Amino acid sequence: MTSSCPTQFPPSSTLPAAASVPRVLSIAGTDPTGGAGTAADLKSITAAGGYGMSVVTALVAQNTHGVRDLHVPPAEFLAAQLRAVSDDVTLDAVKTGMLGTTEFIATVVAWLDDVRPAILVVDPVMIATSGDRLLQPEAEQAMVAFCRRATVVTPNIDELAVLTGSPRATTEDEALEQAARWSEETGVAVVVKTGHLDTLTVTNTWLSPDGSRIAVPSTRVDTTSTHGTGCSLSSALATRLGRGDSPADALAWATDWLHESITHGAALRVGSGHGPVDHGHRARRLQAAASSAPWIMPDAVPHLLETPADLGAPQAGDHGRNVTVPAPAVAPPGPWTAALWAAGAEITAAIADSDFVRALVDGSLPQHAFAFYLAQDALYLNGYARALAALAARSTDPDAQVYWSQAATGALTEEAELHRGWLGSADHTGAPPAPSPVTAAYTTFLLATALGEDRAVGVAAVLPCFWLYAQVGAALPAVPAGHPYSAWLDTYRDPGFVTATEQALAQLESEMAAASPAVRAAAARAFLTACRHELEFFDQALRLEPGGGAALLATETDRPELAGSAR
């Protein structure tokens, strides 16, 4: 019998203290379709950087449409599972989900009395999104009492009403007020989730017993893929807290990660009801970003370009998609720039389709990512200005000399605007922002190319910054009042920028026409490489952890209405 197995292992306390990978136990019910319960918890713990463990309360025959049947093993077996884990493993955090019955709650309480994990996140699961009961009605009061033992509880709006003995809140303020009262009375923190309210923004607010609040808003995703969102949020939160994150960083990480997971849930095509979220989306995105595959394969561009047609069809690249060439917002003035546009189509499409641009436009881009992006943009513009000045120095045609000199001045003016209107002068450690690897690689490439290669190659390298930026600007929709990044988005619509892009395109068209076939090929490679740097530059902001090296904005509040001057 498992329950009589002697504890012949070294006690957990003799093992090394908390690893950087937090050891997180989920105590929950199952979902064989993998979207909620234990499966969601383990995926979320892994995604949040933890080592996940799982004690099963009830076996649930459910899918994306609802619950069909339940099998509840004897409470002794729950106790045996709990003991098997804690006799052997030091726990950095525990998260509870479906506990089902009064007896199960009592079993977990008895175990907690003994084990006392530093972090206990209680998701007081009562009723599933499908409307099915996951907690016996007579166990509700036991669950309410159990919540008092938590570090933090994560009720949805209906569960908050039961917890606080109040009518169902109809507004966020009402929910916050209910939670604040309960938190002050019990000394337990509450995360108020407005997913079940009819609001455009879904806000997760951490309320501490002392009345302090941390609000993490995110845009509502229009999707039915929300099965298991509560399980996923609480597990990710437990993991980040178990790792030592502050409540603010833990909640920001969990909310932003979940938002990405919800956004991409429907693409999984799992089930025809309320589908799961894509817990692994972020990991796959980061894995792709870490690939060391060359950006431009040797056969992507022929060694000699005699005519524009030699450049051939769009390259499939590492995304491997069929590419339709997007219409250029700023038209190519001749056949060489037209051929370059077609060759870079896949990267241009990837930028338009990127999570960064989507999040900037829908307002869900986390503030720390936005601040990081702006700080890196300022550093980038300084390097870019030097590359443009190098082209001015290397030009012999008077119009080209004037054009590149003015472009260099323009980039420095933009950099100054960023500092004056948008950025603080130092990050939270007091240090001035430093270039990221992506920014450094891009500016180093531009300078090396503008100074060390034929001039046409340098001109091809600096063009994507004009052309792809103008492309993003032209595709931006009008955003509603109150959008957190509306002032910044306005800066993309500057007509002066389109004129500068047209002039840069004219420069490249004539440089390409005059260059040798070998130099043209090198220029095409430089153009494609710079397009890829542009994609990386946007994407890099979504590879940053909250608190991980982001510069401060000039106006600093939680995802502020940004004040700033247009560039």
Ligand X SMILES: Nc1ncnc2c1ncn2[C@@H]1O[C@H](COP(=O)(O)OP(=O)(O)OP(=O)(O)O)[C@@H](O)[C@H]1O
Ligand Y SMILES: Cc1ncc(CO)c(N)n1
Give yes or no for residue 277 binding ligand Y (CB under 6 A): no
Report in angstroms how near the CB of residue 221 gets to ligand Y at its nearest: 17
Give the separation between CA 57 and CA 74, rounded to whole angstroms: 9
Q: Please count the other Cβ atoms lying within 10 Å of the Cβ belonging to residue 3.
A: 11
**24, 26, 27, 29: which one binds ligand Y (CB under 6 A):** 29
Dihedral (CA of 387, 390, 395, 400) sign: positive
**Tokens in use for 256?**
């932003």
Supply the minimum distance, in Å, between the C-beta of residue 221 and ligand X.
4
What per-residue string of b and e applies to 52-72 under the rule 16 or more CB within 10 Å gives b? Answer: bbbbbbbbbebbbeebeebeb
Least Cβ distance, residue 62 to ligand Y (angstroms): 6
CB of 158 to ligand X, least distance (A): 8
Residue found by looking up tokens 């608190």 in the block: 547
From the list ligand Y, ligand X, none, partner contacted by residue 29 (C-beta under 5 to 8 A by kind): ligand Y
Taking the least distance from each CB to ligand Y, the nearer of 97 and 473 is 97
165 is catalytic: no
Residue 279: DSSP 8-state: T
Pair of tokens at residue 109: 């309480």
To the query of whether residue 465 is one of the catalytic residues in this protein, the response is: no
Token digits of residue 29: 């019910």
Spell 349-361 as b/e; 16+ CB within 10 A means b.
Answer: bbbeebbbbebbb
Q: Active-site residue 230, yes or no?
A: yes
- Which residue, 277 or 389, is less far from ligand Y as judged by CB? 277
Q: Find, among 500, 517, 404, 401, the residue nearest to 454 by Cα.
A: 517
Q: Does 226 bind ligand X (CB under 6 A)?
A: yes
Cβ 482 to ligand X shortest distance, Å: 17
| Interaction between residue 218 and ligand X (CB under 6 A) | yes
Member of 36, 162, 381, 541 binding ligand X (CB under 6 A): 36
Residue 404 near residue 534 (C-beta atoms within 8 A): no
- Least Cβ distance, residue 5 to ligand Y (angstroms): 27
- Compare residues 97 and 383 and give the one whose CB is closer to ligand Y: 97
Binding string, residues 95-134; x marks residues near ligand Y by CB under 6 A: --xx--------------------------x--xx----x
Catalytic residue among 97, 100, 230, 421: 230
Using the contact rule CB under 6 A, the part of the chain among 79-87, 171-179, 227-235, 505-513 near ligand X is 227-235
d(CA 41, CA 27): 9
Size of the site for ligand Y (CB under 6 A): 17
Q: What is the DSSP string of 479-496?
A: --TT-TTHHHHHHTT-HH
User: Of the candidates 26, 57, 62, 129, which one interacts with ligand X according to CB under 6 A?
Assistant: 129
258 binds ligand X (CB under 6 A): yes
**Residue 499 DSSP label:** H
Residue 491 binds which entry of ligand Y, ligand X, none, CB below 5-8 Å type-dependent: none
**Helix residue ranges per DSSP H, 16-131:** 37-47, 75-86, 102-115
Task: Identify the H or E element spanning 59.
Answer: strand 59-63
Position closest to ligand Y via CB: 37
From the list ligand X, ligand Y, none, pick the one residue 202 interacts with, judged by a Cβ distance below 5 to 8 Å according to partner type.
Answer: ligand X
Q: Which among ligand X, ligand Y, none contacts residue 328 (Cβ within 5 to 8 A by kind)?
A: none
In this chain, which of 52, 100, 217, 230 binds ligand X, going by CB under 6 A?
230
- Of 38, 39, 32, whose CA–CA distance to 67 is shortest? 32
The interface partner of residue 261, options being ligand X, ligand Y, none and the CB cut-off 5 to 8 Å by kind, is none
| Partner touching 255 among ligand X, ligand Y, none, CB below 5 to 8 Å by kind | ligand X
Active-site residue 231, yes or no? yes
Question: Which among 226, 219, 225, 152 is positioned nearest to 192, based on CA atoms?
Answer: 152
| Identity of the residue numbered 16 | P
What is the rounded distance in angstroms from the CA atom of residue 501 to the CA atom of residue 525? 20
Check residue 163 for interaction with ligand X (CB under 6 A).
Answer: no
Which residue in 34, 49, 97, 193 is the catalytic one? Answer: 193
Count residues near ligand X (CB under 6 A). 24
Q: Does 64 bind ligand X (CB under 6 A)?
A: no
| 211: annotated active-site residue | no
**Which amino acid, residue 3?**
S
d(CA 349, CA 395): 32
Instruction: Supply the minimum distance, in Å, between the C-beta of residue 360 and ligand X.
Output: 17
User: How many C-beta atoms surround the C-beta of residue 396 within 10 A?
Assistant: 7
Answer yes or no: 95 catalytic: no
**List of residues contacting ligand X (CB under 6 A):** 36, 128-129, 156, 193, 195-196, 202, 204, 218, 220-221, 223, 226-231, 233, 255, 258-259, 262
User: What are the catalytic residues?
Assistant: 193, 226, 228-231
